[in-house]
Chain A
């Protein structure tokens, strides 16, 4: 158990900066997921915590102790690598027990702890095998057992599920979550898969281009994305984003040839400006022609439990989830209502969120003052 503080951490490779001042604090026992597209610096950050990359500037503290100059072995972290990094010439038992062997733990105790750990991950019958004779999921378990046996303060996961097939990934996800409940060590999990991130995280950190875009609970981030990037990155199918204009005179939001009336006071507060408006496909509602916005269906994706229709709004692609009762075919016209309560409005220049209401929906999150600042 350990808390982690990351203060103004920067990383450059030569003259190329990759991390531009990261400030984060993780509480003891928290399951933190760092989410971002490839190349955003998330793995670099994880490797800096592990001690595998040098810290260019700033400091990282584990349990209050600055670890910048400590060797990986002195930091009390264990890491699960993306490609598992199992030692191919050692058996499963050898792999799991290697850290203990290096630490000079006597053989009898080592064997006992290997056995114990193998039980946790369900590998007791495979201890004599070489990694080459294991399936992907089993290798993944060996990699986790190798981390568990060290009883680390901090677990680091570097995209550990991305080499598994889709079904196994779901199973292993559940296992990692269960393991965390059991061991309750601080865990940091890096991924580019937003479903993994949403399902695993106590705390979600969204990164892009070497900066932290948003930190918060997964649902808060889902409901109140702080920027256009976060809005488009989280949620599947992705959020619809389109250009709009706020007109104070008409008190409306104008986009794609339609005008959506908004309260005069709100329009006045927001001011005349160009914005980017977003709405999640699952929050569009099929409505009558009179109330909704009519659009032509280009193609339909069947999901079984429902369907996703793809269309166009003001020249930009637009997707909406509809239930299985509503039958549409490509070429049909459909009217969709975009409830104002579910609209996300972003400043087009800065990409940051603009709050429409004063009372946040989820109770947590931004305060009134922050919202006013955002506006």
Chain B
């Protein structure tokens, strides 16, 4: 039945696999091992002999109140970003799925922001939501300091979450639209016969049937919010972690500490903690939320 290519020698298949193996070793395992080593040693900033220090790096990280601040900021960012992204994607997907006349171009349009790099989007939004010249400027004229991400940490956090949601809503939209399209049309029709309007149908029939997709997106978006490249990129290009560490998410702090502060050991320790945190979150999600999900 299933055709398999049979190799007589061991070296030929190894040769085929070699490029991939080299790539993984070079760009994944080597750095991972290096981080592991650095986290338990004191790495001199300009190279040279490293000294084993045990858990001293971790003690230093945990003793720093700014570190705990960044954990809180990261949590807020990932949680709000994820919920906003999924909610926006869901609303857009439900609207497009109704297949009202003229809805076809939107299927394509809503995905477009996902094709734009996070830092570029961040740059654009710095202007769009600039308190002096952007969309909010007129509001600020009436109510001074109503919106000023350069001054207030909470505003800055909202700004980066908005950029994150703007970019990633297109991503959740694709998955949710695909999920909606796999809901049998006859179920929607049955609900219409049972007397439901479009909103009731969405809440009672479509969203429960999307549960596996929603759960998948929750896990993916939480991870993306914590460690995604965009999270760093957006923060770096819009707020630089400020003002007063108000948007100092964990990934931003790690990169800053490693490459600006040249504290490789502290950054490595933080990376390990971050990985552990992601694992704990994913575990919680699978353990407690997945129970509510019905796979067909």
Write the residues of chain A forming the contact surface with B, with a CB cutoff of 8 angstroms: 50-52, 71-73, 77-79, 81-83, 85-89, 98-99, 102-103, 132, 146, 150
Contacts and interface: CB of A to CB of B under 8 A. Distances in A.
A146 B184 contact: no
Given A83-B184, A102-B200, A89 B192 contact: no
A82 B208 CA distance: 23
Contacts of A87: 187, 190-191, 204-205
Given A87-B205, A89-B209, A81 B294 contact: no
A69 to B, nearest CB: 15
A357 B196 CA distance: 56
A86 B190 CA distance: 8
Given A87-B205, A88-B294, A89-B208, A99 B194 contact: yes
Contacts of B51: none
B195 A88 contact: no
Nearest to A50: B193
Q: Ordered nearest first, which 7 A-B pairs have the shortest CB separation?
A: A73-B195, A85-B186, A85-B190, A99-B194, A89-B208, A102-B195, A72-B192
Q: Name B's interface SS.
A: helix
A216 B195 CA distance: 34
B290 interface: no
Contact of B192 (A52, A88, A150): A52
A102 B184 contact: no
B193 A73 contact: yes
Contacts of B186: 81-83, 85
A103 B195 contact: yes
A88 B296 contact: yes
A88 B294 CA distance: 9
Nearest to B207: A89
A88 B208 CA distance: 9
B196 A79 contact: no
A146 B186 CA distance: 14
A81 B192 CA distance: 13
A146 B190 CA distance: 10
Contacts of B208: 89
Contacts of B60: none
Contacts of B204: 87, 98, 102
A73 B192 contact: yes
A162 to B, nearest CB: 14
B189 interface: yes
Given A52-B189, A83-B184, A83-B186, A89 B194 contact: no
A166 to B, nearest CB: 24
Contact of B196 (A88, A102, A146): A102
A81 to B, nearest CB: 5
Contacts of B196: 73, 102
A71 B197 CA distance: 9
A88 B196 CA distance: 17
A102 B194 contact: yes
Contact of B190 (A51, A77, A81, A103): A81
Given A85-B184, A85-B187, A89-B208, A99 B195 contact: yes
